[in-house]
């Protein structure tokens, strides 16, 4: 399984098809000369209902972490009522180990802007806000320039291509966040866009019904939107010809299309690489990332950002698709930000560092997340220092498993990052944790009779 030619990276030189030193930001004119915005011209002649149906048939799943069907998400929108409807583009990319959306924003921003215009047409949306993390200073400037070019060439604005069809004015803006992990959660993102503190909202109502400013809202990831021009141009059957059907049964959604994988950690050539969904992690590391650094042995990897949990030493060839969660006992594929760890990695220290991050980034609304992540961090510190007991280890595991949206104890799923990091680390590397623990048994002397001691 391998892509014969780049798709998302067709204009971004990327190994094995190009040299990263040749990369530069693609301008509007360069984008158009290489086929850009042709899909938008095609889309304007397709009815909104047919566009939504095409995306549903393609089985495009969100590239932001959850892997939910993009077309199905669009279909949840109520019929237009003449009032504003919004698109919120999630370019926050605050999950540690994730940097694939940055590649698109840095070097081919018009690919995403074309996807934004197509999405707005399909869903009858008036305004798009690109929510980008505060640390992405250069990327925000690149986007502002690309959007200015798009306005100048009637992709957005009063005379936009879509406006000529339905008379609507389509606008697009960049909104810079302040650098908070919690704002990567879709309702936390909406709160931040509205100028409030980035606290996730209780659902329902869901954003499709009551989202930004209380209006119907679509929230899509950068890479998800960047796929739309290719699906419109080449068809849903073409998209399904890439990747694979689910290995878990006919009724389970497949893993179709190309995917950007960000590889970091103990490899010789970290970077973002494009391949089909379903590539074996070992092949991705060996073929694209140059293999394990310094010839060290593989010990573990996190398949898609630190919230996904740990793969074990025997899971080097795990298939990187949406089935990975159920097949390898991790939370899921996530953002496909693969963090590779070699034989010298201290898993206890790695877990402690991950939990420290989540403890500090919790918004604090939910007691299990706010308190549980802090307790887990304290216990991990004790265990790492050799002061913990086997009882601490059991309590740590119990605390972690009681946190998160999947146990139903928190508003959003961010507490699950603590849950899965801790429980997969303990399950797959328990001897390493136990080697740091002291016995929980207490010596008790019992007197029998007047003088004997047992």
> How confident is the model over 106-158, as pLDDT tens digits?
999 999 999 999 999 999 999 999 999 999 999 999 999 999 999 999 999 98
Check pLDDT > 90 for residue 196. yes
Tokens describing residue 76: 């949840």
Q: Please tell me the predicted confidence (pLDDT) of residue 158.
A: 84
Cβ burial 395-423 (10 Å sphere, 16+ → b, else e): ebbebbbebbbeeebbbbbbbbbbbbbbb
For 347-434, the fitting CATH number among 1.10.3210.10, 2.40.50.100, 1.10.3720.10, 1.20.1440.230 is 1.20.1440.230
Q: What is the mean pLDDT of residues 60-67?
A: 90
Check pLDDT > 60 for residue 449. no
Q: Please tell me the predicted confidence (pLDDT) of residue 385.
A: 94
Q: What is the mean pLDDT of residues 199-223?
A: 95
Check pLDDT > 60 for residue 348. yes
% residues pLDDT > 70 (the chain): 96
| pLDDT per position as a tens digit, 20-36 | 999 999 999 999 999 99
Check pLDDT > 70 for residue 446. no
Q: What is the mean pLDDT of residues 363-392?
A: 93
Mean pLDDT of the chain: 93
What are the domain boundaries of the chain?
20-234, 255-342, 347-434
For 255-342, the fitting CATH number among 3.10.20.600, 3.40.50.300, 3.30.70.2190, 1.10.10.10 is 3.10.20.600
Residue 447 — very low, low, confident or very high, per pLDDT cuts 50/70/90?
Answer: low
Check pLDDT > 70 for residue 206. yes
Check pLDDT > 70 for residue 259. yes
Q: What are the phi and psi torsion angles at 103 (to 5°)?
A: -60, -45
Class of the 20-234 domain?
alpha beta
Check pLDDT > 60 for residue 316. yes
| pLDDT per position as a tens digit, 151-178 | 999 999 988 887 777 777 899 999 999 8
% residues pLDDT > 90 (the chain): 86
User: Per-residue DSSP letters for 408-421?
Assistant: T-SSSTTHHHHHHH
CA distance 150 to 133: 22
Check pLDDT > 90 for residue 186. yes
CA distance 113 to 51: 17
In DSSP terms, 77 is beta-bridged to none
Q: What is the mean pLDDT of residues 371-389?
A: 94
CA distance 28 to 31: 5
Q: Please tell me the predicted confidence (pLDDT) of residue 39.
A: 96
């Amino acid at each position: 399984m391998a892509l014969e030619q780049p798709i998302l990276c067709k204009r971004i030189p990327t190994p094995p098809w190009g040299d990263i030193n040749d990369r530069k930001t693609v301008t509007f004119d360069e984008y158009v000369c290489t086929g850009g915005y042709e899909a938008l011209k095609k889309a304007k002649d397709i009815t909104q209902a047919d566009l939504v149906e095409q995306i549903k048939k393609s089985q495009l799943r969100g590239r932001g972490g959850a892997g939910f069907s993009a077309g199905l998400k669009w279909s949840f929108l109520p019929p237009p009522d003449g009032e504003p409807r919004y698109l919120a583009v999630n370019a926050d990319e605050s999950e540690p180990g994730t940097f694939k959306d940055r590649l698109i924003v840095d070097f081919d921003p018009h690919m995403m802007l074309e996807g934004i215009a197509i999405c707005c047409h399909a869903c009858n949306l008036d305004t798009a806000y690109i929510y980008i993390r505060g640390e992405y200073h250069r990327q925000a400037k690149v986007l502002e320039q690309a959007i200015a070019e798009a306005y100048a060439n009637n992709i957005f604005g009063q005379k936009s291509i879509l406006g000529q069809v339905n008379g609507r004015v389509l606008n697009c803006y960049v909104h810079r966040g302040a650098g908070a992990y919690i704002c990567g959660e879709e309702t936390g993102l909406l709160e931040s866009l509205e100028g409030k503190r980035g606290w996730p909202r209780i659902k329902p109502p869901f954003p499709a019904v009551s989202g930004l400013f209380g209006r119907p809202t679509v929230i899509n990831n950068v890479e998800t939107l960047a796929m739309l021009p290719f699906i419109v141009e080449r068809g849903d059957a073409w998209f399904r010809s890439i990747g694979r059907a689910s290995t878990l049964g006919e009724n389970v959604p497949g893993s179709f299309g190309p995917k950007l994988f960000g590889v970091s950690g103990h490899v010789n050539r970290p970077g973002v690489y494009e391949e089909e969904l379903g590539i074996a992690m070992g092949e991705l590391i060996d073929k694209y990332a140059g293999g394990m650094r310094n010839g060290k042995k593989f010990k573990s990897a996190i398949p898609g950002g630190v919230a996904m949990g740990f793969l074990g030493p025997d899971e080097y060839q795990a298939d990187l698709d949406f089935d990975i969660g159920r097949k390898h006992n991790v939370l899921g594929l996530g953002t496909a930000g693969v963090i590779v760890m070699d034989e010298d990695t201290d898993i206890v220290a790695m877990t402690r560092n991950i939990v420290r991050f989540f403890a500090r980034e919790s918004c604090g609304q939910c007691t299990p997340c706010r308190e549980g992540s802090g307790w887990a961090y304290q216990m991990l510190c004790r265990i790492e220092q050799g002061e913990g007991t086997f009882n601490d280890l059991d309590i740590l595991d119990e605390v972690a498993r009681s946190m998160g949206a999947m146990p139903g104890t928190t508003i959003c799923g961010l507490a699950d990052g603590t849950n899965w990091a801790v429980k997969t680390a303990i399950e797959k590397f328990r001897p390493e944790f136990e080697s740091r623990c002291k016995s929980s048994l207490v010596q008790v002397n019992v007197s029998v009779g007047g003088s004997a001691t047992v």
